[in-house]
């Protein structure tokens, strides 16, 4: 379940007769909407849509690090989330609202991350977007995420995989404004994709995974890593109370849609020689998105 060198757009070993087969564009279709998993999709058109989403701090009895959370109120037609000083890194925990879902899933959302005074957040590691997490994994955190915002530099997409409390992020540059994100699982593989407003889909990363079938799929936002100060090396103490700081993030989410992906049985989506970025994008992004 560690990050594989050569994932994403890099070159992998070529398929062989005894290994993974080459998947061409004509052999894949976009993920299917509707069905049981489609019932979890939310357009955020009415305040009661918030009732579909569960706070992790409530279910797993943690500090509530959300300063503000509403639907169709602060920003019409969206979920709006402001985190308190918080972090999702290694053993550190931040805000997360989710739904329990199982199986192969594409989670597609359109998000905008801003600082409180506009533009990109000013505080380091202020990010918002999507996460899939193993339930009950506080002691040995296991999750993947695709977020947008400010890391140690502003204007970044961060695709991050955390195994047993050790986080391995990958960063890519992105323009400010609305960004489409996809976080998906197919078989034992997770993928993260993104698209700038008016741009084209790109693969952020691919990871192998042994996470369980049932996961928490949802929305996260966190901010202001610098305010952890001397606690940066002590997740237990950092998680035990609300750290006071200078949070600087506003997340708006236009929609979250859940779909079912499919690839041929012979496909190896970890191997870009079997499943190219172009093929992966078609198979993991909704038609017309």
In the chain (289 residues long), the average pLDDT of successive 10-residue segments reads 36 52 95 91 97 97 96 98 98 97 97 98 98 94 98 98 96 98 96 97 95 97 97 96 97 98 94 95 95
Task: Determine the pLDDT at residue 211.
Answer: 94
Task: Determine the pLDDT at residue 12.
Answer: 52
Task: Determine the pLDDT at residue 265.
Answer: 92
Residues 6+ apart with CB under 8 A from 147: 113, 127, 128, 129, 130, 131, 157, 158, 160, 181, 220, 221
Task: Determine the pLDDT at residue 19.
Answer: 56
**Tokens (6 digits) for 199:** 């741009």
Instruction: Please state, in angstroms and as integers, the Cα–Cα distance from residue 283 to each residue in 108, 150, 221, 259, 264, following that order.
Output: 13, 29, 27, 11, 10
Query: Dihedral angle at the C-alpha atoms of 69, 250, 245, 97, nearest 10 degrees?
Result: 40
Which DSSP letter does residue 281 get? H
Task: Determine the pLDDT at residue 258.
Answer: 98
Domain boundaries in the chain? 27-284
What is the CATH T-level fold of the domain 27-284, as seen in this structure?
Jelly Rolls (2.60.120)
Task: Determine the pLDDT at residue 9.
Answer: 43
Task: Determine the pLDDT at residue 2.
Answer: 29
Task: Determine the pLDDT at residue 35.
Answer: 82
- DSSP bridge pairs for 89: 92
Task: Determine the pLDDT at residue 8.
Answer: 43
Task: Determine the pLDDT at residue 1.
Answer: 30
Please tell me the distance from the alpha carbon of residue 143 to that of residue 132, in angstroms, as a whole number.
Answer: 6
């Amino acid at each position: 379940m560690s990050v594989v060198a050569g994932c994403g757009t890099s070159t992998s070993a070529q398929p062989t007769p005894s290994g993974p087969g080459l998947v061409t564009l004509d052999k894949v279709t976009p993920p299917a909407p509707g069905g049981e998993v489609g019932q979890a999709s939310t357009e955020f058109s009415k305040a009661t849509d918030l009732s579909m989403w569960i706070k992790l701090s409530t279910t797993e009895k943690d500090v509530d690090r959300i300063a503000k959370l509403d639907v169709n109120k602060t920003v019409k037609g969206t979920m709006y989330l402001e985190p308190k000083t918080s972090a999702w890194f290694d053993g550190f925990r931040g805000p997360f609202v989710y739904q329990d879902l199982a199986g192969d899933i594409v989670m597609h959302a359109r998000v905008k991350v801003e600082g409180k005074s506009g533009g990109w957040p000013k505080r380091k590691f202020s990010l918002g977007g999507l996460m899939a997490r193993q339930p009950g994994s506080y002691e040995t955190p296991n999750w993947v995420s695709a977020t947008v915002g400010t890391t140690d530099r502003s204007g970044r997409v961060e695709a991050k995989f955390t195994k047993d409390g050790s986080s391995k992020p990958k960063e890519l540059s992105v323009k400010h404004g609305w960004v489409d994100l996809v976080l998906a699982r197919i078989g034992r593989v997770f993928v993260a994709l993104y698209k700038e407003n008016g741009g084209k889909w790109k693969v952020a990363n691919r990871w192998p995974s042994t996470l369980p079938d049932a996961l928490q799929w949802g929305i996260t936002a966190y901010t202001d890593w610098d305010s952890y100060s001397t606690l940066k090396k002590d997740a237990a103490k950092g998680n035990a109370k609300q750290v006071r700081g200078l949070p600087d993030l506003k997340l708006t989410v236009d929609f979250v849609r859940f779909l079912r992906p499919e690839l041929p049985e012979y496909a190896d989506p970890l191997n870009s020689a079997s499943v190219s970025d172009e093929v992966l994008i078609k198979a993991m992004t909704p038609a017309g998105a």
